[in-house]
Structure 1
């Protein structure tokens, strides 16, 4: 089961830097990301999503190859495989891009937009869906964002969430006895 972690950052470009760091950890097999999205809220309050997986490009690529293949096959029947390949590729790429743009993968876009609307202007947030990780090594690496980031939401256990908060420099709010 994957864990959702949402971290808010004080600057617009810090969430992108954190995602770059997460991808470097992924190359070292210390982190396995299922999905990642950077949310930026600009000075006008508008929310911008930067998906890590561009489904339009994936769909267009798949459609291009499958459409080209089937177009060439149909073109062979009419003794013109080149025309069939070209027509099939164009139609396939368009259909694939359209299907990709209407798809949702990983973290629900409605959830991302609703939580993204709560972050202050000129800030950013990183939404990551983690399949598995090496927590000690990942937390040590994330300490570089200490003081500039805060946990907005997680599906981690309370103990793991507390370790993440400590790595980011958040002070746990403890109840003080009334005088």
Structure 2
């Protein structure tokens, strides 16, 4: 079993406890979102397992905005309200229990950072041109040939990966093929 679980040759699917990070720069947030949606569709088809997928956009003010796949605050609030209601039913104060549960869940969920480290993404994206976006994807496993076929026409420039040289070259070659094709 190979270390990491990203782009494997010709249809091989590998599962490991590690994930591979891939960051690709696109000319706009809309293009990065299009690619993220394609990857999520492929995940529904069981061709890729994504742990996290975040879009970092360089703003006009020079800062970096992160468009997270999952916002932890609402998830925490929902979980907190469930546990609050359950506890409240036991002590016969459901309204109070739900309110306390929502507040504590939202408070606990807000600072949580799942997946790719936010400060790492912001630091790496600081060098982007204004308006450009980087799609950061944490991949647990994938069927490489099918996934590359789906994203090869999207273009993009590889910013960073944790892939080995062979898999990184396959990704770069697939993305470069879109840049080489004349516009229709």
Structure 2 residue runs of 5 or longer lacking an equivalent are 1-17, 178-184
Q: Tell me which residue corresponds to 1:136.
A: 145
Aligned residue-pair number = 160
What CA distance in whole angstroms lies between the structure 1 residues aligned with 2:50 and 2:121?
17
Q: Once superposed, which parts of structure 1, at least 4 consecutive aligned residues long, lie more than 6 Å away? A: none
TM-score by length of 1: 0.86
CA contact (8 A) 1:19 1:126 kept: yes
Structure 1 residue runs of 5 or longer lacking an equivalent are 76-83, 171-179
TM-score by length of 2: 0.84
Matched, 1:160 2:158: no
1:5-26 deviation per Cα after TM superposition (whole angstroms, max 9, x unaligned): 0001112311111111110110
Matched, 1:86 2:118: no
Q: How does 1:45-124 map to 2 (within 5 A)?
A: 45-75=62-92, 84-124=93-133
Deviation at 1:154, TM superposition (A): 0.3
Give me the CA root mean square deviation: 1.1
Question: Which structure is larger by alpha-carbon Rg, 1 or 2?
Answer: 1
Q: Tell me which residue corresponds to 1:43.
A: 60
User: Of 5, 19, 23, which residue of structure 1 is paired with 2:36?
Assistant: 19
